Structure 1
Amino acid sequence: MENMDREELLRKIQEVEFACIDFNLYLDTHPNDEKALRDYNTLANEAMKLRKIYEINYGPLTNFGFSLTQYPFAWLNEPWPWEGK
């Protein structure tokens, strides 16, 4: 996954985060489904890894204390994650 370009990596993050949201909604109504919980945790770990790879290479995805950043502060550098190229 580290060989993906910026857009591919961002798309993969979006896909995995969407799956996490879907599992989260399912688990709201099926809290005792152990397999779904394991699958959710697997995807949540993958999402964290992907975000870390993205942020190391391209800067923070979120602001307000959810992402660490390097010096110099890079949050204002364009393009922002949702702007693409």
Structure 2
Amino acid sequence: MKQLPAHYYEIMEELQAVDFVIVELTLYLDTHPDDHDAISQYNMYVKTRKQIKKKFEKEFGPLTNFGYSYSNYPWDWKDAPWPWQV
């Protein structure tokens, strides 16, 4: 497997932390659907996640397939390592 720069892991950790917050807020909002502050936080973290994802994919390629990530040319989804392999 090819060697990845430290920056790869830094962005990946940032993305995972934001994903954790989004999941926790989702669970909270399932039982508190009228909490305006929580909805605002959720939307802010979703926006942040999109920015981090865009930054990651620009530098390292797609995080997911099946239409959730754009591909460079040539098709680069086949290029390892995939996010779950690191």
Residue 24 of structure 1 corresponds to which residue in structure 2?
Answer: 26
Identity between Structure 1 and Structure 2 (%) = 40
Q: Deviations over 1:5-44 (max 9, x none)?
A: 0001001101101100100110010010000000011111
Distance in 2 between residues matched to 1:73 and 1:22, nearest whole Å:
34
Unaligned regions of 5+ residues in structure 2, if any? 1-5
Report the AA paired with residue 23 of structure 1: L
Q: TM-score, normalised by structure 2?
A: 0.90
When the two chains are superposed, the root-mean-square deviation of aligned CA atoms in Å is: 1.0
> CA-to-partner distance for each residue in 1:39-62, whole Å, 9 max, x for gaps?
011111000100010011000000
Give structure 1 stretches of 5+ with no counterpart.
none
The runs of at least 4 consecutive aligned structure 1 residues that moved more than 2 Å come to: none
Q: If the length of structure 1 is used for normalisation, what is the TM-score?
A: 0.91
CA offsets per residue over residues 54-83 of structure 1, 9 Å max, x none? Answer: 011000000111111110111010111121
